[in-house]
């Protein structure tokens, strides 16, 4: 396990930029797991990541669809998964995702992806100001209405895929 990045992200815009920075190293077969409370910025990061990949369609919270596949102009599909309602890792396997041909980003994925692949990029987002999940923004809230607030982001790489990779 290697910590690739441990940083403060000051704003919504910066979180999108961090997503783009991650996108620059991603390729088909990669798995990114996003961890953090509701309103942390997981979808915001994925949106920036998707924009950088040239993802078609709106990257939004996939809560009610579990997984959404976005073709991209840069190559592999972006598959955006929300594991929030999954109760068992087997269910993630049951989605029959084309892991090898896609870049897979899983919100709430920790504990679900272990065993599916040996290489994972784990992104943990925590609110830096001590606010808890109870005042978090609902996923459908207009982002413009949520004031910027710093987040701490720690990116940890596990497995052979990430040996020698820097962000």
Ligand X SMILES: Nc1ncnc2c1ncn2[C@@H]1O[C@H](COP(=O)(O)OP(=O)(O)O)[C@@H](O)[C@H]1O
CB of 67 to ligand X, least distance (A): 15
Residue 36 binding: pick among Mg ion, ligand X, none (C-beta 5-8 Å cut-off by kind): ligand X
- Choose which of 16, 42, 83, 156 interacts with Mg ion (CB under 5 A): 42
CA trace torsion 25, 31, 36, 37 (10° rounding):
130
DSSP 3-state assignment of 109?
A: coil
Residue 11, φ and ψ in degrees, nearest 5: -150, 170
What residues pair up with 114 in beta bridges, in sequence order?
A: 117
- Contact between 158 and ligand X (CB under 6 A)? no
Count of residues touching ligand X (by CB under 6 A): 24
Residue 80 binding: pick among Mg ion, ligand X, none (C-beta 5-8 Å cut-off by kind): none
C-alpha 46/C-alpha 65 separation (Å) is 16
Residues that bind ligand X (CB under 6 A): 9-12, 15, 36, 38-44, 61, 107, 137, 139, 141, 143, 146, 148-151
């Amino acid at each position: 396990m290697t910590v690739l990045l441990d940083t403060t992200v000051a704003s919504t815009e910066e979180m999108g930029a961090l997503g783009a920075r991650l996108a620059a190293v991603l390729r088909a077969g990669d798995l990114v797991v996003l961890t953090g409370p509701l309103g942390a910025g997981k979808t915001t990061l994925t949106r920036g990541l998707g924009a950088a990949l040239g993802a078609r369609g709106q990257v939004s919270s996939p809560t009610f669809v579990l997984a959404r596949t976005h073709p991209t102009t840069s190559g592999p599909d972006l598959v955006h998964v929300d594991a929030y309602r999954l109760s068992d890792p087997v269910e993630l396997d049951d989605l029959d995702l084309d892991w090898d041909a896609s870049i897979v980003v899983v919100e709430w994925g920790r504990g679900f992806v272990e065993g599916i692949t040996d290489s994972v990029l784990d992104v943990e987002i925590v609110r830096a100001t001590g606010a808890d999940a109870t005042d978090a923004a609902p996923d459908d809230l207009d982002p413009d209405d949520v004031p910027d607030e710093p987040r701490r982001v720690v990116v940890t790489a596990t497995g052979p895929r990430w040996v020698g990779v820097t962000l």
